[in-house]
């Protein structure tokens, strides 16, 4: 599969055409951003780690019947994926109160929610990804009711798969963000699944193992990402050495 012309770039990835119109190449960058791009840095090896972590998660989900855009890993920073018509609705799955949910609703961080919460935001950096509901989604024709039903069902299923999988590896899945797209008439899970898009806490210490370390200037960001990968790979595979 040949890497073609540059298609577009977002905060964490570059997308390239391939010689197959149904497939694109995703290159993971080392760039780190927070607060809608106000805070920026470059973290060595972040792209390599997120590529490996996303591939691992996508393979796990595919093995459990979830349709994803993942096809194969091409290099340490690149994966081949299905070309998607992205639905501009981010699906946020919350198991424990943290981040904006704690601030908006006054719920103390680390409060375990009695029921998994699904939230939606408009995928629009210039508008700072505002929260939206089904009425907004249908009024703006962002997705059809049957598409939203499929996205919600899939998001909850992903949660059911990942929570026990991570628990076995001494990681708490606090919350995470998913993006979906259309591919040949099907709703398919896209984007990435990594410490950039999930909140991971160590089960024993409560230590944060995700992008919140970057947001809060806690340091040790790459060490945390590397530790997540180590636990998920069971200590197998080549080590990713780099700066923190």
22's tokens:
């149904």
Among 10-14, 91-95, 235-239, the least confident range: 235-239
* Separation CA 210–CA 155 (nearest Å): 20
Which residues, in sequence order, are bridge partners of residue 93? 118, 176
Top-level class of domain 86-202:
alpha beta
Q: pLDDT tens digit string along 93-115?
A: 999 999 999 999 999 999 999 99
- pLDDT of 184 over the 90 cut: yes
- Can you give the pLDDT at residue 236? 47
* Separation CA 123–CA 51 (nearest Å): 22
Question: Does the domain made of 3-84+220-233 have the CATH classification 3.40.50.2300?
Answer: no
215's tokens:
């947001």
Q: pLDDT tens digit string along 17-38?
A: 999 999 999 999 999 998 876 7
Domain ranges of the chain: 3-84+220-233, 86-202
**What pairing do the DSSP bridges indicate for beta strands 171-178 and 131-132?**
unpaired
* Separation CA 46–CA 222 (nearest Å): 7
| Residue 160 to residues 39, 52, 65, 66, 170, Cα–Cα distance (Å) | 33, 22, 12, 12, 16
Give residue for tokens 């029921």. Answer: 115
- Can you give the pLDDT at residue 168? 97
Strands (E) in 97-206, as ranges, are: 112-122, 131-132, 171-178, 180-183, 186-189, 198-202
Greatest alpha-carbon pair distance for the chain in Å reads 51
**Would residue 184 be called left, alpha or beta, if left means φ above 0 and alpha means ψ between -120 and 50 degrees?**
left
């Amino acid at each position: 599969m040949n890497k073609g012309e540059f298609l577009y770039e977002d905060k964490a990835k570059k997308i390239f055409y391939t010689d197959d119109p149904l497939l694109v190449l995703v290159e993971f960058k080392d760039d780190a951003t927070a607060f809608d791009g106000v805070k920026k840095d470059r973290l060595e090896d972040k792209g390599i780690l997120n590529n490996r972590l996303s591939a691992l998660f996508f393979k796990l989900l595919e093995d459990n019947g979830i349709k994803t855009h993942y096809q194969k890993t091409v290099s340490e920073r690149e994966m081949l994926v299905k070309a998607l018509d992205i639905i501009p609705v981010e699906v946020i799955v919350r198991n424990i109160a943290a981040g904006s949910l704690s601030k908006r609703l006054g719920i103390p961080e680390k409060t375990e929610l009695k029921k998994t919460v699904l939230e939606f935001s408009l995928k629009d950096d210039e508008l700072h990804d505002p929260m939206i509901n089904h009425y907004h989604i249908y009024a703006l024709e962002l997705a059809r009711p049957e598409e939203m039903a499929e996205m919600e069902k899939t998001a909850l299923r992903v949660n059911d798969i990942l929570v026990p999988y991570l628990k076995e590896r001494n990681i708490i899945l606090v919350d995470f963000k998913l993006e979906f797209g259309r591919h040949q008439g099907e709703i398919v899970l896209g984007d990435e699944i990594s410490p950039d898009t999930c909140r991971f806490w160590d089960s024993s210490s409560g230590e944060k193992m995700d992008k919140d370390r970057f947001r809060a200037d806690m340091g040790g960001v790459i060490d945390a990402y590397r530790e997540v990968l180590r636990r998920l790979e069971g200590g197998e595979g080549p080590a990713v050495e780099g700066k923190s």
